[in-house]
Amino acid sequence: MTDPNPTELLDLALEAARRAGALLRDGRPADLGVAATKSSPIDVVTEMDLAAEKLIVDFLTGHRPQDGLLGEEGGGTEGSSGIRWVVDPLDGTVNYLYGLPTWAVSIAAEHDGERIVGVVEVPMRRETYHAVLGGGAYVRGDAHGEDIALRHRPAPPLDQALVSTGFNYVGHVRAHQADVAQKLIPRLRDIRRGGSAAVDLCDVAAGRLDGYYERGLHPWDLAAGDLIAREAGALTGGRPGLPADGDLAIAASPGVFEPLQALLEEYGAWHD
Ligand code: IPD
């Protein structure tokens, strides 16, 4: 094992995400939304998802065959370099199906289990979010290609905070999530449901949201966006004292994070 070179890993992740984002954007059939009422649009989306993951995996393993990989569609490989890529080729699948713009390609690199690189490509916004551990978080727009440093929003009192969340695909989990959201709404300015966890986390990083929380995320939904949010100065975590994980993931400006986490604990947001 050698020490990782985060800049090399970042460049690879940026290029893989750019190519996959272009494939998904340019390859989406124009009538996909219409097809949703007819045959099997899910298959088309699944095909695009698989094609994007294959592109990313081929690109990354072509350059770094010794690395491990965990992908939403393809299971995992161990690798021998200490680096593992965590890949969501299409986060926000339902938005993609309906032609809504909030979907993303998410790629993170971990070194011995610690996230060191994160890239979230949001093709329909023409934005690429990226971070290296300890190096800050940035967004790159298509128009001029410059990196702009990201900073979380100054914290308002919780009752003026705009907080996003997501709802799981499993019915009984969604039902409890709705109960929690119902209790939270009067305590906040408002709630949003964007439809892509990776984009929600980047929106916290960019100061477009005061906070975000969700139960039931997978590592690939979370890995890149969590690092980007933290590198923008936001706090991330799960239940009190724990890191963000499948039970509960929270990201918010310091000052919003603490009371939000306390309410989510009180409302039992991590269980049915
Ligand atoms: C989903 C999105 C959504 C979140 C779900 C995720 P997918 O990922 O991130 O915002 O609410 O929990 O599963 O299925 O589109 O990759």
Q: What integer pLDDT is reported at residue 227 of this predicted model?
A: 98
Domains parsed from the chain with CATH numbers: 6-149 (3.30.540.10), 158-266 (3.40.190.80)
Look at the block and give the residue holding tokens 């939304």.
33
Pairing of strands 162-165, 190-192: parallel
Pocket test for ligand 1, best of 93, 121, 163, 248 (most atoms within 8 A of CB): 93
Residue nearest to atom 2 of ligand 1 (CA): 196
Cα–Cα dist 69/60, whole Å: 9
pTM for the model:
0.95
Q: Ligand 1 centroid to 246 CA: how many Å? A: 12
Q: Ligand 1 centroid to 194 CA: how many Å? A: 10
Cα–Cα dist 101/195, whole Å: 10
Q: Ligand 1 centroid to 197 CA: how many Å? A: 6
Pairing of strands 190-192, 211-214: unpaired
272 residues of the chain, pLDDT tens digit each = 567 899 999 999 999 999 999 999 999 988 776 554 444 566 677 889 999 999 999 999 999 999 999 998 776 888 999 999 999 999 999 999 999 999 999 999 999 999 999 999 999 999 999 999 999 999 998 766 799 999 999 999 999 999 999 999 889 999 999 999 999 999 999 999 999 999 999 999 999 999 999 999 999 999 999 999 999 999 999 999 999 999 999 999 999 999 999 999 999 999 98
Q: What integer pLDDT is reported at residue 38 of this predicted model?
A: 46
